[in-house]
Amino acid sequence: MTNSIASRIADFLSDFPPFSLMERSHLKLIANEVRVMYFEQGKTIFARDEQVHNYFYIVQKGAVDLQKVDDSKEPETIDKCDEGDIFGLRPLFAKENYQINAVTDEESVIYAIPLDIFKPYAISNPQVGDFLMESFASNTRNPYSNEHRGKLVADENEIVFKKEALFELQPIPIIKKMVTVSPDTSIQKAAILMTNRKVGSVVVVEEEKPVGIVTDVDLRELVATGKFEIKKPIGKVMNSPVICYSKGLTIAQAQLTMMKHNINHICITADGTPNTRVKGIVSEHDILVSQGNNPAVLMKAINRASSTKKLKRIRSKIMVLLNGYLKSNIPLTHISNIIFELNDATIKRTIERCIAKLDTPPPAGFAWMSLGSQGRKEQLLHTDQDNALVFEDVPEEKLEETRAYFLKLATKVTKRLNIIGYEFCPAEMMARNPKYCLSLSEWKEQFSQWVTTSGNDEILLCQIFFDYDISYGNVKLTNALSDHIYEILKGNRNFLNRLAAQALRNPSPLGFFRQFLVEQDGEKKDLFDIKKRGVMPLTDAGRLLILEHRVKNISNTSARFEKLAQLEPNNKELYQACAYSSRALIKFRTRQGLKNKDNGRFINLEDLGKEDKIKLKRCFKTIKEIQELIKLRYEATYYL
């Protein structure tokens, strides 16, 4: 019987070591015996002290966290495997139980490779064996330190975990992608090359041997000042000789060398002298990147990312950053701002890349709007993408053609955002939906219609679309839209009252005896829905009150309440409490989400400590008070 699935699996495997080192015919035999396994997010593939499986694993889709477990302490992620990474190699080398946990960090498809089928090939092909040994040893490396994989730990049964403190002693990450030119290339040509490849330096080589290096600084000091013309050969302005090292160089050494010679690039050659082939280049920037916990560096990485896959990797680093911030108890306002900027940059970069991929530039000005939590700058965890697109008014006969272009763009963008980790909006509230990809006049018309015929669906749409933030494009368009919204809301008491009724639809979650109200039925029975009962009532209240005051361009809930505290001094205390509660609830949800690897929405009350419970109750008391205020101020009860 034929087996075409096995051929596809063999194709996949052949892209990744050690399988890439094997013969196609052998690979097919192995692929034929693979077990395809599906895991939800947060599921354990194997746990510490569990007996070893008869398989080892390769990630086909998704991501797997390898965790070190110390009794008493929370598991700590020591490595992250994504597409094509192998893990769970212990049974190939040892019979003892697993020493680490392997837990899916997102929904994943894993190929399990049976040992008894695979082992003969590993033994007969020394390259394969060596690779597996090295991987097994280095699978214990610290995840974000970029320690390269080619190192063997003397005793592979003893797992030694690298601590952050030893960071400086780890080998430097080498950037393989470097730009090289010959000494007679013109300065202009070299500069164009650097610009296109988005790098800050170029290595000048003769027969692959480094003879000099030119950096951005040199171009500024020697060329832009007029000392050298751009037609002159690059050899005239290069720094020579080049400081070279071999690849064993540690981070500490690299930093010292840079300081000593007052340079920010070091060349890596085969033997560490300028007389052998260039292997790569290390910059100060790369060293910073390897620390991986610096938002400025992540931002740079986002703006340089040349593939969706890279953006996805950066996003998982952002999550590490977020976790660190929460652990060190940094104020949520700062956290939100940083994470928002990084998310925003990711979206911008994705749109930028998609526009470049289309055959023609946009036929009209447009703006990409992020809605919902990203629009409110409250999106910390991976949540759904909600977005919309507005484009400049075009002549009637061009309208559909223009829309078609933007729908095509939006389809590309949303698809890539989905891969990066922002899931598709289940209600299709996305710019790729023709209903939400409109010209400016169409949007104005749409908002007018929503506000005048305010049934429940329309109110819901208003609530989502009122919290928008421009992610990309022409800010004039979104401003015009805001102006229009405030114009049609002027004196529309009826609409505000209806909005108020909606804001009260989720009453304060404390029951009569000050118990928490938990979900009554369904799969989330007995869990507490922190989004529906905590975050949403505050968000709705904030939006309503700020709309009444006609304050533009503040979409963050906490910031809205801070503003309200200024505007209504008599309610200052309540509003400040609301601002605090909003931040506290989001922080709470984020922490839960990171812990349980989900969106943090449902909380098991039994897992909470006393202190947390009291904190939550205080937030809910505030919700109750703000809802009382709304009830009195608006004639909302008519609509309840």
Partner 1 sequence: MIKKWFKKNKPRKDLPFFWQNYAKSFEEKLPEKVSDTRFVVFDTETTGFDFKQDRILSIGALRVENKSIEISDNFEVFLKQTKFNPETVKIHGIIQNERFQKITELEALKKFLSYIQNSVLIAHHAGFDVKMINKALGRHGLPKLKNKILDTAILYKSTRIATNLIDREKSYTLDEIAEAYNIDLTDRHTASGDAYITALIFMKLLSRLSKDKNFRLKDLFKN
* Residues contributing to the site for partner 1 (CB under 8 A): 1-6, 8-9, 31-40, 61, 107, 109, 112, 415, 418-419, 424, 426-429, 457, 460-461, 522-523
Give least dist CB 420 to partner 1, A. Answer: 10
Calpha distance 510→518 (Å, rounded): 10
Give least dist CB 1 to partner 1, A. Answer: 6
Q: Which amino acid is at 5?
A: I
- Among residues 411 and 448, whose Cβ is nearest to partner 1? 411
**Edge-to-edge strands, sheet with 44-46:** 44-46, 101-104, 63-68, 76-82
- Among residues 386 and 392, whose Cβ is nearest to partner 1? 386
Give least dist CB 311 to partner 1, A. Answer: 14
CB 362 within 8 A of CB 460: no
The number of CA neighbours under 13 Å toward the Cβ of 355 is 17
- Among residues 428 and 445, whose Cβ is nearest to partner 1? 428
Q: Determine phi and psi for 212, rounding to 5 degrees.
A: -170, 170
Calpha distance 114→128 (Å, rounded): 16
**Neighbouring residues of 312: CB distance < 8 A, sequence distance ≥ 6:** 82, 419, 420, 421
- Among residues 40 and 229, whose Cβ is nearest to partner 1? 40
**Neighbouring residues of 224: CB distance < 8 A, sequence distance ≥ 6:** none
The number of CA neighbours under 13 Å toward the Cβ of 562 is 10
Give least dist CB 446 to partner 1, A. Answer: 13
Which class for 138: exposed (0-12), middle (13-18), buried (19 or more C-beta within 10 A)?
A: middle
CB 175 within 8 A of CB 282: yes
Give least dist CB 404 to partner 1, A. Answer: 19
Give least dist CB 131 to partner 1, A. Answer: 23
Give least dist CB 318 to partner 1, A. Answer: 19
By C-alpha distance, which of 251, 278, 285 is closest to 172? 251
Q: Is the backbone peptide bond immediately before 143 cis, with ω within 30 degrees of 0?
A: no
Give least dist CB 175 to partner 1, A. Answer: 30
- Among residues 107 and 216, whose Cβ is nearest to partner 1? 107
By C-alpha distance, which of 241, 239, 185 is closest to 216? 239
The two structure tokens encoding residue 248: 């064993």
Give least dist CB 563 to partner 1, A. Answer: 30
- Among residues 524 and 615, whose Cβ is nearest to partner 1? 524
- Among residues 8 and 550, whose Cβ is nearest to partner 1? 8
Give least dist CB 502 to partner 1, A. Answer: 15
Q: Are strands 278-283 and 366-370 parallel, antiparallel or unpaired?
A: unpaired
Element containing residue 296 per DSSP (H, E):
helix 295-304
Calpha distance 567→580 (Å, rounded): 17
The two structure tokens encoding residue 50: 């569990």
Calpha distance 399→532 (Å, rounded): 39
- Among residues 82 and 216, whose Cβ is nearest to partner 1? 82
- Among residues 301 and 430, whose Cβ is nearest to partner 1? 430
Q: CA angle at residue 205 from 203 to 209, to 5 degrees? A: 115
Tell me the CA distances in angstroms from 325 to 166, 291, 564, one per residue in order: 21, 15, 28
Site of tokens 């950037």: 175
- Among residues 540 and 562, whose Cβ is nearest to partner 1? 540
Site of tokens 């078609």: 404
- Among residues 12 and 144, whose Cβ is nearest to partner 1? 12
CB 268 within 8 A of CB 246: yes
Give least dist CB 574 to partner 1, A. Answer: 33
Q: CA angle at residue 147 from 146 to 152, to 5 degrees? A: 150
- Among residues 388 and 574, whose Cβ is nearest to partner 1? 388
Calpha distance 5→7 (Å, rounded): 5
Give least dist CB 523 to partner 1, A. Answer: 4
- Among residues 32 and 125, whose Cβ is nearest to partner 1? 32
- Among residues 426 and 569, whose Cβ is nearest to partner 1? 426
Give least dist CB 161 to partner 1, A. Answer: 31
Give least dist CB 570 to partner 1, A. Answer: 39
- Among residues 1 and 165, whose Cβ is nearest to partner 1? 1
Q: Which amino acid is at 439?
A: S
Give least dist CB 296 to partner 1, A. Answer: 30
Element containing residue 389 per DSSP (H, E):
strand 387-391
Q: Are strands 55-61 and 86-87 parallel, antiparallel or unpaired?
A: antiparallel
**Neighbouring residues of 63: CB distance < 8 A, sequence distance ≥ 6:** 80, 81, 82, 104, 105, 106, 108, 316
250: β partners: 171
Element containing residue 616 per DSSP (H, E):
helix 610-633
